[in-house]
Chains A and B, each alone.
Chain A
Amino acid sequence: MFKTFKSILLVFLGVALFWSCESDLELQPEDNRSTAENTFDSPEAYKQFLAKLYAGLAISGQEGPAGNPDLQGLDEGFSQYLRLYWMMQELTTETAVIGWNDGTIKDLHAQNWTSGNEFIRTMYSRLMYQVALTNEFLRQTTPELLDSRGLDGAERENVAGYRAEARFLRALHYYHALDLFGNPPFVTQEDPIGAFLPEQIQSQELFDFIASELEAIEGEISPVGTSEYGRADQAALWMLQAKLYLNAEVYTGSPQYDRAMEVTQKVINSDYELVEDYQKLFLADNNENGAEQEIIFPITFDGNNTQSYGGMAFIIHAAVGGDMDPDDYGVSSGWAGLRTTSALVEQFPGEAESDDNRALFFTEGQTKEIDDISSFTDGYAVTKFKNIDVDGNPGSDGTGEFPDTDFPMFRLADAYLMYAEAHLQGGGGSLSEATNLINELRERAYGDSSNNISENDLTLDFILDERARELYWEGHRRTDRVRFGVFSDRGLWPWKGNVPQGTTTGAHRDLMPIPASDLGVNTNLTQNPGY
């Protein structure tokens, strides 16, 4: 017995000593993760990192549709950029209500949110997360670092272009932060990564930063027609400039409609053109059915490759419920959440039966007025976005869970409306051109010129309404209402202020509150007035 025991002993001691020799406290990842140093040994890493910056708009983590999320403070599906941005922009206005019981989600439409609202918080976190990602990209692609890694040739040139796109995306995120929060924390690639307290920036300074960044990269970003689908080109940059300048008075106190007009014209004069059928813009094949010639900057989704429970999956699934057959929308099931109020329905002459083909509502079994926000059948459902192609075939994901439909973040029709508005605000251009552009949209909507407007009809109030008809559910409404001064202390629609007929709320709600959680952590921050 001892003999066996002795050999066990020897083997054991031998192995044990071998291990002890390996004694090591400097351990690095051994699986598919790696340090920055090792990651950028491979030149493809730069484009993959760039893909992450864009993907941040569409998906919520590294596993798709869910798993290994970017943000951990909220359920992954809810934490997705587009889903949150859409909720901030649409649920807070007359265009959308949601029936679910998730946390404080109903406070968005009731306009009684507080600084503890987790959706506002996560929007804020998501925006700043994306900024931090782009900063990291800029840190990892400095010429000095690229030199030291020996990157040259075509890939070196490509990376220079990627840097411009990263700066464009950072400007986009900061623009959203400016629009929603006014005075967010401000970090650039000069800041470290850690647990430090970023400084707060005031909206005027942030406006100037975004404007100067966009000017600086205009020449470095791909001209229209030369970029890959899905990546930002100069027109995307001009659209962002147009939005920034159109809203300049809100952000800085002084209007810049002339600059808005200038960049809007650049967009209109570019190669983008309206697609003939409005509905095509919101279908599964909108990246190739002709809509891609109107969509200037999409957030792309793909049923088999780009999956998330946020984004288009949310916008399409959540809008399906009641008597609606999910098959008609190319999805497996409805999540029975989103509807609209009578205020949007009534924008269309003839309401749900309007000749305006932009009135895409489902009414069977639904009531126009909302008695109970929780009940899906209260309020008309909206059928604008679908996961079917022009021929009615469902998207590529056989299970009907994840749509192919891309989200048109910027499209040409918006530029037409901005031109008209900038003109009416004294930004230049001509009234006849403005009227023509609006009538192009209306001819597409009605199929003929019977509902065209005259130059006298073109007023600012008309523009606000026409923007609702053309652009509802595309993530513009809150910004538009704030610019027109009819978001909070003016403007009424059902269930605003949490009463059925609607009531006004405090003017401070034009800005979202800085989340209490960040105020608690970052003592450099001051809350927005009124919260």
Chain B
Amino acid sequence: MKTLFKSTLMLLLMLPMSFFAQESVSGVVSESASGLPVPGANVIVKGTTNGTTTDFDGNYTITNLESGDVLVFSFLGFATQEIPYEGQTTINVELDEDAATLEEVVLIGYGSTSEQDATGSVEKVSSESFNKGAVVSPEQLLSGKSAGVRITPSSGEPGGGGEIRIRGGSSLSGNNSPLIVVDGIPLDQRGVQGVRNQLNSINPNEIEDFVILKDAAATSIYGSRASNGVILITTKTGKKSSPLQLEYDLKVSAGRIIDKVDNLNAQEFRQLIESTPGTNPDLLGDTETDWQDEIYQTSVGAIHNLTASQGFEDFSYRVNYNHTSQTGVLKTDVYERNALNISLNQDLFDNHLKLALTTKGIVDENRFADQGAIGAAVAFDPTQPVYDESLPFGGYFEHNTVSGGRLIPQLQATRNPLALLETLDGRGKTMRNITNLNAEYKFHFLPELNFNVNAGFDYAENEGHNRRPTFAAANGLYIQEREYTQEYSGINRNTLLDFYFNYKTELEALDTEMDLTAGHSYQEFYIQNNDEFTVADDPGYRIEPTVINRNSLESYFARASFDIANKYLISGSVRRDGSSRFGGDNKWSTFPSASVGWKIHNEDFLMDSNALSELKLRAGYGVTGNQEIGINYGYLGVYSPSVGPARYQFGNQFYNTLRPEEFDAELKWEELQTYNVGIDFGFFNNRLSGTVEAYYRETEDLLATVPVPAGANLSDLLVTNVGETVSKGVEVGLNGTIIQKEDFNWDMNYNITFQDLEITRLSLGENPDFFIPQGGISGGVGNNIQIWKEGYDPSTFFVFRQVYNEAGQPIEGAYADVNGDNEITEADKVPYKKANPDYFMGFTNTMNYKNLDFSFTFRGSFGNYMYNNTQSGNGFVTAGTVTPQDYYSNLNSNVLESNFVNNQFFSDYYIQKADFVKLDNISIGYLFPGDKVDFRTSLTATNVWTITDYEGLDPEISNGIDNNFYPRSTNVVLGLNLIF
């Protein structure tokens, strides 16, 4: 209060003063070591808001000075200098690198450390190395940047979310996504309802950095949610003592698909139908339609960011408004976001109390396209027209029939793909607020002791509807009678309160720095959803009962770190978590970790080495958990009433039923043990630096949805603790500055990850042949293409071995008789290949020449295979000719190669190599420095080029089953950035 009063007073006082003082000073700010100019350095008159920043050449001019003012020169990574103004006309400043700030601070969860002192596997990715382009969701910034982190970009839908896997995930049925902590709030790992990607709530433009915690030594402070790694996202805040800065950033993008599913065209299709015995070519139309051309379009998008930030001596703020809109390459798909981010920082009592408030308000609006159109477009008869005004289906052509004297769509037939899209009015809106208030108090009587309290609140409310007009053939049974309507709404609420004490001191007698932390956390998640919709048998709506799910987590945690003689690091942490999802003795569990590090470069024998600037060995062990098992009352027997037409007749009355649900009172935590060793090195003043890391992980008491022994429970499948997995891997990350000259700079980042994941135990029994089918495919009900089995990767395919003739043609229905019983039964299916890669890599180059910058990123993945369900589902003659009603379906062109007549869903013919190298991103930019305004323009292309042997549309589909995949578009992005 006093401070604010003072600054306000000062402002008031200064206002009239400025009429007298008209003096100014200018100069150049440069680096002391290299003499290179420092652009963007802050120059401010101490104790005022009067300030400026240096231009691209390090020049600055500051006016309204009077003798006795103190000029403060600051820039991140350099020691701040204060120079009194006594009437000089020029003040040139050389800034020294600040050793203390150079040792970059990294968050590690409930505290921070320096990169030098980290003993766990911790990697920080800052904004300068983010992927460029019209990035809507934050995870895309990271793609290809970090070893051990695999980010599968979302499908082509606007605002879609990618899949993040750190070290491949650890669970089978549980959640495999990392815990994401945004400005101190762990997000609900299940996401929020109604949005395509919950991370879209974090504006990528506002992200300062990501810190990725990979091994248990780093993550176990997050205990029961840490098995899949943790990503800490820090958003930007205003800098103290910096002048008002306004920034406007615009990115305009356009995208289109570059490939389509290879289908028969109208002529080929007609020929095939006509030449197949028993067909009726009269059912064909007489036009030529490429249905894929009908449903896809050029997508366009724009992202606007308007930011204001300013810093005073004790107070700073940053306000950002974002508007994002994007259409999909699939017609009618639209994503729109309006978001306001506010960050306020206030220091009180001589910096003893620091308050930070960050709040993000997001309105996320979607029009959801009917993605069924993608499958419909590859199956719909290409000889039929798009439109037929003579039919009562809103002008669209549909396969039709007469029933009860009425012209109705054939109910079993494929629907007109364009009509599917254009008749669906599917909209949803989610309003979300994520607010975090952090107070950090440094005790007056004991400044080494810190108290940190964090109150977080993440609230989202969504509502939406799906409607189709009366004439829409997709309404099926109630066509023409009434429109289809569905209304839904929901609430997600996540509240957090945590606090911890931190005590940092130097034990001089032992030449040791000690850092102790202990705290408590309570977090509660509340989810509610409501659904009502038109149903066929009911004149009104069906209103589904409100579903409410609440779960909570309470935790105690502590950490101790010692740095002995600046050489030997020892760190240990423990977390005790209690979860409402488990009962009795299983409610609480403890997750410990320990790690050590040796800073060899600080040893005497290396102190004088010029070449070697850093060498550190690390090793760690820890236990983490996973409680994201999808159910809340799994240990408790509950009863569910039936809703809707699930009543049973006794006499003349219909009774709703009551069902006891399956449960396992013994349900307990899934536990993951991780061993990790790593080496960090840097040469030539860290011009070349890198990390090599190896890990071994064992998941025990694996929570999986498995077949329960029949009769033992109230379902056929049960979430229970069964099985074990082992995963191991090696990760290498290298950073190098290839060229470092006054005008030209070239940085390179390369990372490669080798991974191996294996199920080592799966069932309650001991049968090694036991397996669980996984990976549902399109074509028939209940067909699966993958298995979980002991000794195999969980994404392993399970197929028949195709037999080929001498010409290399697959012989239909001829498979290897693996068990030699002269019959081909499913006992002849074998595990074969897998969807997970053996290794993957990322490669980024960034170059600057004067004001020109250029960067590109390659990503590659090797050893991964794909089940080409697009071919297997439509690539045989009877898929087109044997249909339940009077119509024919289009076929995949692969049928002309395989010549299959009947389905061969389980042939390994369709398991195809899906190694790839992608040029993800290529960007060029130019900065026009100005006196008042800096103007930067850039041109970026994303998803530019893919090298692969895979025959389908895209070799990168996370579960390894290519089935009606929403194609990714190739985009061109024009960027403009103005800084005032």
Contact = CB atoms under 8 A, between A and B. Distances in A.
Interface of A: 1-2, 5-6, 8-9, 12-13, 15-17, 19-20, 22-36, 39, 45, 47-49, 51-52, 54-55, 58-59, 61-65, 67-68, 70-75, 77-78, 99-105, 107, 112, 114, 116-118, 122, 124-126, 128-129, 131-133, 136, 140, 184-187, 191, 193-198, 228-231, 287, 300, 302-307, 321, 325-327, 332-336, 374-376, 397-402, 515-523
A114 B826 contact: yes
B445 interface: no
Interface of B: 1, 4, 278, 315, 317, 344, 346, 355, 357, 403-404, 410-412, 435, 437, 439, 455, 457, 477-478, 495, 497, 522, 524, 536-538, 545-552, 554, 578-580, 587, 632-633, 636-652, 654-666, 705-718, 720, 722, 763-767, 769-773, 779-783, 823, 825-827, 878, 882, 884-885, 902-903, 905
Nearest to A135: B711
30 contacts: A2-B1, A5-B357, A8-B357, A9-B439, A22-B524, A25-B552, A31-B548, A33-B639, A35-B636, A52-B659, A58-B648, A62-B642, A62-B643, A70-B715, A72-B715, A73-B707, A74-B781, A100-B780, A114-B827, A125-B707, A129-B710, A133-B659, A195-B666, A195-B708, A196-B712, A230-B650, A230-B651, A304-B645, A332-B411, A333-B410
B764 A195 contact: yes
A306 B646 contact: yes
A12 B437 contact: yes
A48 B497 contact: no
Contacts of B647: 51, 55, 64, 302, 305-306
Given A27-B550, A27-B580, A520-B769, A102 B783 contact: yes
B666 A517 contact: no
Contact of A197 (B548, B705, B709): B709
Nearest to A55: B648
Contacts of A107: 825
A305 B633 contact: no
A29 B645 contact: no
The 10 closest A-B pairs by CB, nearest first: A520-B770, A64-B646, A228-B651, A16-B455, A52-B657, A128-B710, A399-B477, A125-B716, A55-B648, A51-B655
Given A194-B665, A305-B645, A333-B885, A36 B710 contact: no
Contacts of B773: 118
A55 B537 CA distance: 19
Contact of A523 (B410, B495, B655, B767): B767
B404 A302 contact: no
Nearest to A377: B278
Contact of B637 (A36, A59, A118, A287): A36
Contacts of B344: 5
B355 A5 contact: yes
Given A63-B642, A516-B770, A518-B707, A193 B716 contact: no
A28 B826 CA distance: 44
Nearest to B582: A25
Given A195-B666, A230-B648, A305-B649, A522 B765 contact: yes
Nearest to B521: A20
Contacts of A19: 495, 497, 522, 524
A132 B713 contact: yes
Contacts of B645: 64-65, 302, 304-307, 402
Contacts of B665: 193-194
B709 A72 contact: no
Contacts of A33: 633, 638-641, 661
A481 to B, nearest CB: 22
Nearest to B410: A333
Nearest to B435: A12
A32 B545 contact: yes
Contact of B646 (A16, A125, A307): A307
A55 B657 contact: yes
Contacts of A307: 537, 644-646
A302 B652 CA distance: 11
A20 B497 contact: yes
A142 to B, nearest CB: 15
Contacts of A187: 711-712
Contacts of B642: 52, 55, 62-64
Given A31-B547, A103-B780, A229-B651, 18 more contacts: A2-B315, A16-B495, A22-B524, A36-B638, A62-B642, A64-B646, A67-B644, A72-B705, A102-B783, A125-B716, A136-B660, A185-B710, A194-B666, A195-B713, A198-B710, A306-B647, A333-B411, A521-B765
A112 B823 contact: yes
Contact of B412 (A105, A333, A523): A333
A23 B780 contact: no
Contacts of B643: 32, 62-64
Nearest to A101: B780
Contacts of B404: 327
A9 B357 contact: yes
B522 A20 contact: yes
B658 A45 contact: yes
Nearest to B478: A399
B781 A78 contact: yes
Contact of A517 (B649, B770, B782, B905): B770
A345 to B, nearest CB: 22
A185 B1 contact: no
Contacts of B536: 397-399, 401
Nearest to A199: B711
Contacts of B636: 28, 35
A53 B505 CA distance: 68
B412 A335 contact: yes
Contacts of A114: 825-827
A49 B658 contact: yes
A302 B654 contact: yes
Given A193-B637, A333-B885, A521-B764, A300 B648 contact: yes
Contact of A398 (B4, B412, B537, B878): B537
A303 B825 contact: no
Contacts of A52: 642, 648, 657-659
A9 B437 contact: yes
B646 A49 contact: no
- Most A CB atoms within 10 A — which of B404, B642, B771? B642
A334 B412 CA distance: 8
Contacts of A375: 278, 882
Contacts of B656: 48, 51
A324 to B, nearest CB: 11
Nearest to A22: B524
A197 B412 contact: no
Contacts of A193: 637, 662-663, 665, 712-714
A19 B493 CA distance: 12
A55 to B, nearest CB: 4
B781 A24 contact: no
A521 B718 CA distance: 12
B709 to A, nearest CB: 4
Contact of B550 (A30, A306, A402): A30
B640 A520 contact: no
B828 to A, nearest CB: 10
Contacts of B878: 374
Contacts of A25: 552, 554, 578-580, 587
A189 to B, nearest CB: 12
Contact of A48 (B655, B716, B718): B655
B283 to A, nearest CB: 14
A129 B4 contact: no
Contacts of B437: 8-9, 12-13, 16
A29 B882 contact: no
B823 A517 contact: no
B711 A132 contact: yes
Nearest to B823: A112
A378 B651 CA distance: 41
Contacts of A231: 650
Nearest to B481: A398
A51 B639 contact: no
